[in-house]
A = this chain, B = another copy of it.
Amino acid sequence: MNQAMYTSSIPVFKQMLNSLQVILSKAEEHAAAKNIDANVFLQARLSPDMFSLTRQVQIAADFAKGVAGRLAGAELPEFADDEASFADLRGRIAKTLAFIENLTPAQFEGAESREITLRPGTPKEKTLIGSAYLLSYGLPQFFFHVATAYGILRHHGVELGKRDYMGQY
């Protein structure tokens, strides 16, 4: 049995999604303590043409869901992008965690050589085998959005440290 794609994806997604939960809780507490509208943080961004915190979290969750689910050959649940509070975002992450925790190692058997097509039917269509899909596409994308969510909150004064980003390992 070769379940390397399971052990290379599910534990790291879980680790970082759980760290995002803590980061979002600390941001919410910070907003409450300073009497700042939560939307100031939820809509914050590092640059006018970058995504807001809310969107960064949604996309991070979607990469965890999509990458894990495609490697497993599972049907992907659809989540509406309608989160409007820190509690909503934590709920989105919780739903994502529930989905990926329900995937079994056996579903990842052979996933390293399974072909996965990005942006099918578009001019940017690109097919990768599972191992490249995870390592050269999925993880770089996922970590980008987690680190950017952290960076937005640090930039806006929330007291966080690298330990909050790294989570439990």
- What residues make up the interface of A, taking CB atoms closer than 8 Å to B? 4, 7-8, 11-12, 15-16, 46-47, 50, 128, 131-132, 135-137, 139-141, 143-144, 147-148, 150-151, 154-155, 157, 162, 165-166, 169
Contact = CB atoms under 8 A, between A and B. Distances in A.
Q: Which of A11, A46, A139 has the most CB of B within 10 A?
A: A46
Given A46-B155, A136-B11, A144 B141 contact: no
Nearest to A150: B144
Give the 3 A-B residue pairs with the shortest CB-CB distance, closest first: A143-B143, A147-B147, A136-B169
A162 B148 CA distance: 12
A135 B165 CA distance: 14
B16 A151 contact: no
Contact of A139 (B12, B141, B148, B151): B12
Given A47-B155, A139-B139, A143-B140, A8 B11 contact: no
Given A47-B154, A143-B144, 7 more contacts: A7-B131, A16-B140, A46-B151, A140-B166, A140-B169, A147-B151, A148-B151
